[in-house]
Structure 1
Amino acid sequence: ESVPGVIITQHSGDGKANQYFVRGYNLDHGTDFGVFVDGMPVNNRAHAHGQGYTDINFIIPEFVQQLDYEKGPFSAKRGDMTTAGAAEFTLVTELQHGFAGVTIGEDNYWRGVFGDSVEAWGGVLTFGGEATYYEGPWVLDEDASRFNGIVRWHRGDEDNFFNITFLGSQGEWRATDQIPMRAVAGGQIDRFGYIDPTDGGESQRYSLSTSFGMRNQDTVIRGKAWAGYYDLDLFSNFTYFLDDPVNGDQFHQSDARGFAGADFAVDLENRQIFNAGTTYTFGFQTQNDWISDLGLSHTVGRNELSTVREDDVFIGSYSLYAESKTTWSEWFRTEAGVRGDLFVSDVDSDLPANSGGEVDAMIVPKLNLIFSPGEHHEYYLNLGGGFHSNDPRGVNLKIDPNTGAPAQSVDPLVRTWGAELGTRSQWTQCFTTTIAVWSLFNDSELIYVGDAGNVEAGPATTRYGVEFAGYYRPNSWLGIDAEVSLAEGRYNDIWSTGGPWVENQVPVVISSGITLGGGPGFFGSLRGRYFCERPLTATKGVQGSDSFMVNARAGYRTENWELALDCLNLL
């Protein structure tokens, strides 16, 4: 939530991927918001629980050096599943000091973390780990445990460097899923109670990545490559006894995959075009997933009753992009780019009719115009295209595995066009603001289907909104910020959807906070977050309730230690 206007919530247990809300989108567990760690994409294509499933539980916050974000499909280096935006975590190359920390909280919350850097093999070896356990406020203890680790060796400086990084994560949990309101109102179960005590899951993720950089005068070469393994076993029961009054409706989603990819780019700096200084960037990216036992089955108490479908899937993408950043004058510069993506997929299904392969391609242009008429004000106009891929199982779908009836397939790639007009202003040395007006035109959206526990390709939509952010820091120990996001999403064909409103969109998001303390001594913060009612149906006949949450933090620090108290959800 460091990204302005972003809401992140937990759903069905702390071990599961979070749910994301950006610019009015309910992105479920990722879909159209790309997340990267040192260039490595985290969004999982053709995932068992939904396209774009993004689990960032493997990141240890203390090892994040920088978080960069973008809104909209306006960067040539961003491709699949980044139409709403993207965020990239850059991990530390060296810790200035070793550290260790312990957190103890209500409902039997425990967390331990440590890290250090030492000189080794002509470079710097950075390592650390994290262990967490949480029972939660539920009647059924969540028993959520996770272990994360990082080892990185780095050598070089900002221009010429090489590193290799191992990341590992393993977690398991029990989940108290959504429960019937009438069961709570009737006194059958507590507000924090449960119906199915066997919901939950376990997951693990391991990756080995490397990156390098080389500079030769005005030419910069950068490269990243990675490979890893991920698996998930998820047990959910959203409707309990609606479909099967005897055994219940629990289902098991399984995903086991190997993944590998690379990202290479060349920057040609200080070039000239029509007597204007420009930097050219040319890049190649690839991402590949080999998924086995991609399954959906009907279970009871985590024991399988029947298999709905089981597939082996390969999906690979191969991308080229080019971009030029040109300064035409002191007050005007441009960023123009184009990107081409080739997608190849193959599905081997237990139902032969749903097997097959597909090849598709997409070319999208990008253009950003930046005007700086004064030293403290900047205006910009961003135009560009983006896209997201659909699950290859849906692309090759011919027969519904649940009913055996003929089924409608979806397009492999779906295009989006976007536009954004905004301004960035630094009114004084301590006060800055940003304002943006944006719109997105989607040929199809990925819609979350709660009863099925996954996403499906939905109809075309038009989205638009306004964002404001203000930051005030009069001195080193006081900071005040406020962010407001207003958004609206409408279906283009209201006759086929039964109404104009995109379900689960969040029209209003407001967050604000105050931070005290910038060095040794006492420190504190107070933050509030609000999002308004949201339509659960296309007619707004059913509305989800609004939410307002306040968190506070206070503590004391010296150069060598820190003691803090966090109070979450004060109201």
Structure 2
Amino acid sequence: MYLSLLLFCMGCLFFPSLTIAHEISIKGIVYDKESNTPLPGAHIVLESTGKSTTSDAFGTYYFADLAEGSYELKISFIGYETNRITAVVKAGETTTLVSHLPTARLELSEVTIAAGVQSPVNSISGIDIKLRPTRSAQDMLRMVPGLFIAQHAGGGKAEQIFLRGFDIDHGTDINLTVDGLPVNMVSHAHGQGYSDLHFLIPETVESIDFGKGPYYSNKGDFTTAGYVGFQTKNALKKSMFKLEGGQFDTYRAVAMLDVLGEKSKEQGQSAYIASEYLFTNGYFDSPQNFNRLNLFGKYNRYIDNNKILNISLSIFNSKWDASGQIPQRAVDAGIIGRFGAIDDTEGGNTRRSNVNVQLTSILPGGATLKNQIYFTRYDFELYSNFTFFLNDSLNGDQIRQKENRNLTGYLGSYTQRSRLFNKELITEAGVGLRYDEIQNNELSRTKSRRITTANVALGDIDQLNAHAYFDEKLILSPKLTLNAGLRLDAFKFAYDNHLDSAYSRESASKTTISPKLNLNYDVTPGLRLFLNSGIGFHSNDTRVIIEQKGSDILPKAYGAEIGVLAKPTDKLIIHSSLWRLDLDQEFVYVGDEGIVEPSGKTRRYGIDFSLRYQLTSWLFADADLNLTRPRALATPQGEDYIPLAPMLTSIGGLSFRLTNGLNGSIRYRYLGDRPANEDNSVIAHGYLLADAVLNYTRPKYEIGFSIENTTNTSWKEAQFDTESRLRWEQQPVSEIHFTPGTPFFLKVNLSYFF
């Protein structure tokens, strides 16, 4: 199958003579009426022809190979009024159309299932951003159906992620980006793929793109369970000041200011700055003293109607104290309460600065060329204590994980719409380079943050990843779309161990190829069948690779999925799939202990089900249900459970938007019980929670409140089966250690728009 795929891709690349030019065409551009900026992702239907397309980054679209005559176009986008245009085309001419779409009430009737158009569920999730309680951008990950997160260090540390039967830890099996900027940190001091999204201000997010499985040619390292891409706003419709206050000494201020004004938008440029400050003591017995400061600026310029320049700068700083995970026996014995601590000197600080430059160009032949360069400076220091006095009965088992990193990268892609055997062909090719220079990657044993008792690991890491991909999407008919792709990734790893008295810089390298093959068939305008398949991978920590003498560098993931996307009525969208994912090796560096822990081959399969339903013009319902069976292979039955892998999850709720300005939602989250160890003798108990939001929005202001855990349920957010010893205990005990989940948490907010 993959040999045929490769030949197909090469044929499309090396035989451009199959591309046919056509004289009669329609070219259009779609604008957001309020911000006067191009609107990418709008859906355009050339009615009575069966042809449809979406607008590109410039808001433009194109229909070729037309007969002379009159055509009706329907232009729609979720959250905007639909525009209908009549166009008359003549031989040898290109008819140009311009549309300005005003924002409007969300209507699921505007959602279209058509060849070449992405799943509408993704777009709807982006609109729901405003109606769900969020403490940070990391919370916005929960908008991905089936994705759960857990915090176990009070708020400053990146959250633990669960998706498709994976305990992803902090990012080992999910690819996260912001405006194309990678979030995952390779060979991180706290573990492979560590992904801290707290540098992203939630109010700056325009949309969220996501996909599950290893089926995407333009997604590389860590894309096994899936990917999530955040896109920030290019321009502000209004400037804004926002103040929030809540329980547990929680205070937050946000400002978003349009720098250049409306006249500059008319001239094709915009710029804004955004800032966020958060302080909270948290609901723990020991004050959290959590501070987070974010500054973000973005400049957007349209040049000569064929180039878009995006420049963004951001600075993030965070510091906090934490109570960490606590043993169940200490709570049962009354030694501490649910919100108490064994070692409340945990905590840390982290800083991140980003520079991101993107230039998108339309070439004379109509192709799109994208170039992106980015640079990140990142500093991290974390203090944790998971085992208390198990290893050191005198000083305790606190550890420090620390690193300083420079991350530099380039991404380039070329996209061309053409014709192959009189069928529409979308060709995309891309290359990229990422270089991580990590200084003083450290794991040390400490006491009260001040005293270093032992160095466990200390060294410098250099990691280089170069990639190239080629992707073809052939629209064989208005019903059938074939997508085939091939990706090449090359890695170079190097480690300088500072604890080795003799200088020795060890290195290893590895290359991997990842083919993809996907098929969509639209049975009717409201029913799509799809089949996805592909190979992905996740890289291992450089220290693992050196320790293992270059083996198990890039374990592969083999995925396949079959499903249906249906719109049985104008108001109902259903997405369901049956999937399977096999991993060659879950073999990672355990940063908490400085050891290598191989897990062997694994297999996961399951069912995903998502529903979006518009009950009335102002009331919406959604629900996501995910069932998974995760198992380790080559392990005796009954001992093949994968610790903390979720098996049953569900999320959903009701959202409403009234014409008088009232809007809000009430939502539930359910995570079922799951094994905490390999033989299922220790259980990590699940939970069912409800959250609520209510806002009153007017053109000049908004007031509202949000409640997390409306029923004040006692629940455990993060859970681990850990062996530990308290100071007075003679023998260690292995049992559930947990971080308590948020109790009833009320916040109020006031926003002013201008």
Of 628, 645, 652, which aligns to 1:512?
652
The offset of 1:520, in angstroms, is: 4.2
Change in Cα spacing, 1:344 to 1:453, as seen in structure 2 (3 Å) is: closer
Partner of 2:15: none
Of 386, 406, 417, which aligns to 2:536? 386
Does 2:689 align with 1:539?
A: no
Residue 268 of structure 2 is aligned to residue 127 of structure 1: no
Q: Deviations over 1:526-551 (max 9, x none)?
A: 00000100101111111100111110
3-state DSSP class of the match of 1:119? Answer: coil
Match of 1:19 among 160, 163, 167: 160
Aligned partners of 1:378 and 1:424 also within 8 Å: yes
Gaps of 5+ in 2: 1-141, 712-754
**CA displacement at 1:447 relative to structure 2:** 6.0
Q: Displacement of 1:453 after TM fit? A: 8.3
- In structure 2, the CA distance between the partners of 1:447 and 1:489, relative to structure 1 (3 Å rule), is farther
Residues 33 and 365 of structure 1, relative CA distance in 2, 3 Å threshold: same
Separation in 1, partners of 2:370, 2:356: 14
Aligned pair partner of 1:143 in 283, 289, 306:
289
Give, as a single letter, the amino acid of the residue that structure 1 aligns with 2:662.
Answer: F
Equivalent of 1:326 in 474, 477, 485: 474
Higher percent of residues as strand: 1
Matched, 1:369 2:519: yes
How many residues matched? 560
Q: Is the counterpart of residue 109 in structure 1 residue 250 in structure 2?
A: yes
Letter in 1 for 2:355: L
Residues in 1 aligned to 2:493 and 2:217: alpha-carbon distance in whole angstroms:
23
The 1:25/1:448 distance shift into structure 2, 3 A limit, reads farther
Query: Are the aligned partners of 1:239 and 1:451 in contact in 2 as well (CA < 8 Å)?
Result: no
Candidates 374, 387, 398, aligned match of 1:250 = 398
The question of 1:179 aligning with 2:326 is answered yes
Map of 2:236 onto structure 1: 95
Q: Is the Cα contact below 8 Å between 1:238 and 1:450 reproduced in 2?
A: no
Contact residue 355 and residue 396 of structure 1 kept, 8 A: no
Q: Is the 8 A contact 2:484 2:516 kept in 1?
A: yes
2:640 equivalent in structure 1: 500
Question: 449-458 vs 38-47, which deviates more?
Answer: 449-458
Matching residue of 2:411 = 263
The secondary structure found in structure 2 opposite 1:416 is strand
Alignment partner, residue 300 of structure 1: 447
After superposition, the Cα gap between the structure-2 partners of 1:451 and 1:319, relative to the gap in structure 1 and judged at 3 Å, is closer
Contact 1:293 1:310 survives alignment (8 Å)? yes
**Post-superposition offset of 1:188:** 1.5
Alignment partner, residue 557 of structure 1: 697
- CA shift, 1:448, in A, is 8.4
Checking the alignment, whether the CA contact within 8 Å between 1:49 and 1:454 is kept in structure 2 is no
Could you tell me which of 572, 575, 579 is aligned with 1:438? 579
Quick one: distance in 2 between partners of 1:253 and 1:135? 23
Please name the residue that 1:403 is paired with. Answer: none
The verdict on how the C-alpha distance between 1:449 and 1:570 changes in structure 2, with shifts beyond 3 A counting, is: farther
Q: Which residue of 1 aligns with 2:201?
A: 60
Partner AA of 1:356 in structure 2: E
CA distance in 2, matches of 1:137, 1:488: 35
- Residue 435 of structure 2 aligns to a residue in which SS? strand
Checking the alignment, whether the CA contact within 8 Å between 2:581 and 2:603 is kept in structure 1 is yes
Q: CA deviation at 1:271?
A: 3.0
AA of the residue aligned to 2:627: L
Partner letter of residue 382 of structure 2?
Answer: L
Is residue 50 from structure 1 mapped to residue 191 from structure 2 by the alignment? yes
Q: Who is 2:342 aligned against?
A: 195
* CA positional deviation for 1:458: 2.1
Q: Which amino acid is 1:62 matched to?
A: E
Report the TM-score when normalising by structure 1. 0.95
Identify, as 1 or 2, the structure richer in helix.
2
- Cα distance, 1:53–1:515 mapped onto 2, change above 3 Å: same
TM-aligned CA deviation for residue 277 of structure 1 = 1.6
- Secondary structure, in 3 states, of the residue corresponding to 2:169? coil
Q: Given the superposition, is the C-alpha separation of residues 24 and 280 from structure 1 closer, same or farther in structure 2, using an over 3 Å criterion?
A: same
Question: Contact (CA 8 Å) 2:544, 2:588: kept in 1 or not?
Answer: no
Please name the residue that 1:282 is paired with.
429
> 1:357 maps to which residue?
507
1:396-437, CA deviations, whole angstroms, 9 ceiling, x for partnerless residues?
016xxxxxxxxx875211111100001100111111000011
Maintained 8 Å contact 1:134/1:142 = yes
One-letter amino acid of the structure 2 residue matched with residue 366 of structure 1: K
Separation in structure 2 between the aligned mates of residue 167 and residue 423 of structure 1, nearest angstrom: 40
Q: Give the Cα–Cα distance (whole angstroms) in 2 for the partners of residues 153 and 200 of structure 1.
A: 35
Computing the radius of gyration from Cα coordinates, the structure with the larger value is: 2
Name the structure 2 match of 1:405: none
- 1:99-125: per-residue Cα shift (whole Å, max 9, x none)? 010010000000000102232897312
SS in 2 for 1:500: coil
Q: Evaluate the alpha carbon distance shift between residue 305 and residue 314 of structure 1 in structure 2; reply closer, same or farther with a 3 A threshold.
A: same
Mapped contact 1:142–1:175 kept (Cα < 8 A): yes
Deviation, 1:501, is 1.1
2:717 is matched with none
1:158-177 alignment, distance < 5 Å: 160-177=307-324
Rounded Cα–Cα distance in structure 1 between residues aligned with 2:465 and 2:279: 37
Shift of 1:457: 4.1
**1:159, 1:110 → 2: CA distance?**
44
Aligned equivalents of 2:306 and 2:322: distance in 1?
47
Query: What residue identity is the alignment partner of 2:433?
Result: T
Q: Provide, for residues 338-396 of structure 1, a one-character-per-residue CA deviation record: whole Å limited to 9, x for no partner.
A: 00000011100124498411110000100001111211100010011000100111110
- What value does the CA root-mean-square deviation take over the aligned residues? 1.9
**Alignment partner of 1:78: what SS?**
coil
Task: Report the 3-state secondary structure (helix = DSSP H, G, I; strand = E; otherwise coil) of the residue aligned with 1:182.
Answer: helix
The answer as to whether partners of 1:520 and 1:559 remain within 8 angstroms in 2 is no
Offset, 1:24: 1.5
Residue 78 in structure 1 maps to residue 219 in structure 2: yes
Matched, 1:41 2:172: no
Retained in 1: the 8 A contact 2:456–2:594? no
**Which residue is equivalent to 1:404?**
none
Residue 19 of structure 2 aligns with which residue? none
Post-superposition shift, 1:475?
Answer: 3.9
Aligned equivalent of 2:12: none
Instruction: Rate the CA distance shift 1:485–1:132 in 2: closer, same or farther, 3 A.
Output: same
| Alignment CA distance shift 1:58-1:476 (3 Å) | farther
Query: Match for 1:413 among 547, 554, 566?
Result: 554
Deviation at 1:12, TM superposition (A): 1.1
1:184 aligns to what SS in structure 2?
helix
Deviations 1:3-62 (A, max 9, x none): 111111211120100111111211111111010011111000000000000000000011
C-alpha separation between the residues in 2 aligned to 1:167 and 1:430?
Answer: 40
Aligned position for 1:30: 171
Are residues 436 and 498 of structure 1, via their aligned partners in 2, closer, same or farther at CA, if it must alter by over 3 Å? closer
Q: 1:450 deviation in Å?
A: 9.2
Go from structure 1 to structure 2 and tell me whether the alpha carbon gap of 1:339 and 1:143 turns closer, same or farther (over 3 Å shift). Answer: same
Structure 2 distance, partners of 1:251, 1:46, is 18
Which of 664, 670, 680 is equivalent to 1:530?
A: 670
Deviations 1:158-205 (A, max 9, x none): 962001110110000111111122222222222211111210000000
Could you tell me which of 112, 118, 130 is aligned with 2:259?
118
Unaligned runs of 5+ in 1: 399-407
1:568 has 2:708 as partner:
yes
- Aligned to 1:393, the other structure's residue is in SS state helix
Name 1:401's counterpart in structure 2.
none
SS in 1 for 2:203: helix
Post-superposition offset of 1:554? 1.5
- The verdict on how the C-alpha distance between 1:447 and 1:488 changes in structure 2, with shifts beyond 3 A counting, is farther
How far has the Cα of 1:209 moved from its partner?
0.7
Counterpart Cα distance in 1 of 2:422 and 2:707:
58
In 1: Cα distance, 2:306 partner to 2:411 partner: 17
Q: Per-residue deviation at 1:449?
A: 5.4
CA–CA separation in structure 2 for the residues paired with 1:393 and 1:186: 40
